[in-house]
Amino acid sequence: MTRMDGWIPPRWNALLGRLGCRLDALELLAELDARYSSPSRFYHGWSHVLMCLRELDGVAQVLDEPVLVEAALWFHDAIYDTHGGANESLSAAWASCALGDLGVDAGRVARVGELVRATDHTGPAPPGDVDAAFIRDIDLAILGAREADFAAYDRAIRTEYAHIEEGRYRRGRLAVLKALAERDFIYLSERYREALETRARANLTAAIRLLELAD
């Protein structure tokens, strides 16, 4: 729910310069702000985008195209409808259209769309795609946060889905968390596995236990 902070326009403008945009994009930034500052965004707002960009800054040197990963992170939750699905595909389509209208190279536009779609954690990551692996890990970095921060994230997600009855929500959330916990690895990159895998598994185990006890 955080309104756009002062750091956002300068970083946005720097990104557009690196993307080779030929047109003014303040109107697009205003549209992003309207979405990420929506009162319904208790987790998937500007604070999440900022967290992702901080994560990106720590790994940019090992990425193939960090500027395109950053562009994808700005858009990856632009459309977030808790009543429906296909948020990643819709966000990718909007990103592709918006960046194309700004004069970004078509190949780069297509790649940004691919990276946004890669943040759909229900599907497999493209094998051998370093940047897709890292953008997924960046998006899931919260799972490996300190216990208190993970708990705050978990509460924020529940608030975003406040329209869903408690029992139904618990069943759905349990399915999501179990699917993550049952993977051989939560994180796709060695860097994130070494840094966050153990803590993420502990957080997921605790959250799953609470959901099961509530039933």
Q: How is domain 1-139 classified at the CATH fold level?
A: Hypothetical protein af1432 (1.10.3210)
Percent of the chain at pLDDT above 70? 98
Higher pLDDT, 21 or 72: 72
In this prediction, residues 170-179 reach a mean pLDDT of: 96
Q: Is the pLDDT confidence value at 7 over 70?
A: yes
Supply the mean pLDDT for the chain.
Answer: 94
- State how far the alpha carbon of 45 is from the alpha carbons of 3, 16, 99, 200, 204, in Å: 9, 21, 21, 22, 22
pLDDT in tens, 20-40: 987 778 899 999 999 999 999
In this prediction, residues 66-93 reach a mean pLDDT of: 95
- Hey, where are the domains in the chain? 1-139, 142-215
CB 78 within 8 A of CB 36: yes
pLDDT in tens, 82-141: 998 899 999 999 999 999 999 999 999 999 999 999 999 987 777 899 999 999 999 999
pLDDT band for 1, please (50, 70, 90 cuts).
Answer: very low
Residue 199, Cβ density class (10 Å: 0-12 exposed, 13-18 middle, ≥19 buried): middle
Cα–Cα distance between 194 and 198 in angstroms, integer? Answer: 8
Helices 106-117 and 66-75, interaxial angle, to 10°? 60
